[in-house]
Amino acid sequence: MDVNLTQEDSVWELMWAPYDQPTYQSVLDLIYPDDVVLEIGAGDLRLARQIARIARRVYAIEIQREILDQGLSDRAALPANLTVFPGDACPLPFPRGVSVGVLLMRHCTHFTLYAERLKSIGCKRLITNSRWRLGVEVVDLLASRESFDSVRMGWYACWCGAVGFIPGPVESYSAKMDQIVHEVSSCPRCSSSGQSISLS
């Protein structure tokens, strides 16, 4: 296995265990027939194969050759619209024309990198569980982001991968706040890690 991950906790990213079908279904429900999908960390391709039944084209990147080979062992059955790239998604060039990224990796430490790179190739959406780590969310990659300091109170999610609730006076709380997640930049974790996320 040729793995080139530098951060100590990146070893978590290499944990491979398939998710359950309800999780896959929540991804599939967000894919449209016109979509060109890039799955980052595709494991043995069990989700990529299902996406290929819906989307126009699917690209799948997987770093661990042994796991990928399990999914490729029945090569004849690989759908014609599914292309596989063995390798590390961090440096690997992303194909052009991708409309949606899929990142099912709860312990992902490269959320910012993947989000920025997808946006740079014109990709509009990212379906992922890597920020909230439970359910799947769709990140609108083209949406503008608020400055963390401008949010008075409520839930937030940042492109550094951080999520949380900005507290405020209890009398200001309303249940409506739980329906809104502010996409922010420059959150406290960005500052503490020296990471700078642009507002563009």
Ligand X SMILES: C[S@@+](CC[C@H](N)C(=O)[O-])C[C@H]1O[C@@H](n2cnc3c(N)ncnc32)[C@H](O)[C@@H]1O
Q: Tell which one of 42, 52, 55, 157 touches ligand X (CB under 6 A).
A: 42
- Contact between 37 and ligand X by CB under 6 A: the answer reads no
> Which residues between 141 and 160 bind ligand X (CB under 6 A)?
none
Stretch that binds ligand X, among 87-95, 140-148, 158-166, 169-177 (CB under 6 A): 87-95
Q: Which is nearer to ligand X, 106 or 189 (CB)?
A: 106
> Which residues between 107 and 126 bind ligand X (CB under 6 A)?
none
Q: Tokens representing 171?
A: 């009398």
Are 83 and 57 in contact by the 8 Å Cβ rule? The answer is yes
Q: Which residues are 59's β-sheet partners?
A: 38, 83
Convert residues 43-72 into a mask of x (bound to ligand X by CB under 6 A) and - (unbound).
Answer: x--xx-------------xxxx--x-----
Length of the chain: 200
> How far, CA to CA in Å, does 197 sit from each of 70, 136, 142, 161?
38, 22, 14, 11
- Is the dihedral angle over the CA atoms 159, 67, 72, 86 positive or is it negative? positive
The whole-angstrom separation of Cα 58 and Cα 2 is: 24
Q: Which is nearer to ligand X, 92 or 166 (CB)?
A: 92
> How far, CA to CA in Å, does 169 sit from each of 16, 164, 166?
42, 16, 10
Stretch that binds ligand X, among 36-44, 135-143, 144-152, 185-193 (CB under 6 A): 36-44
Q: Tell which one of 18, 122, 164, 188 touches ligand X (CB under 6 A).
A: 18
* Interface residue list for ligand X (CB under 6 A): 13-14, 16-19, 41-43, 46-47, 61-64, 67, 88-90, 104-105
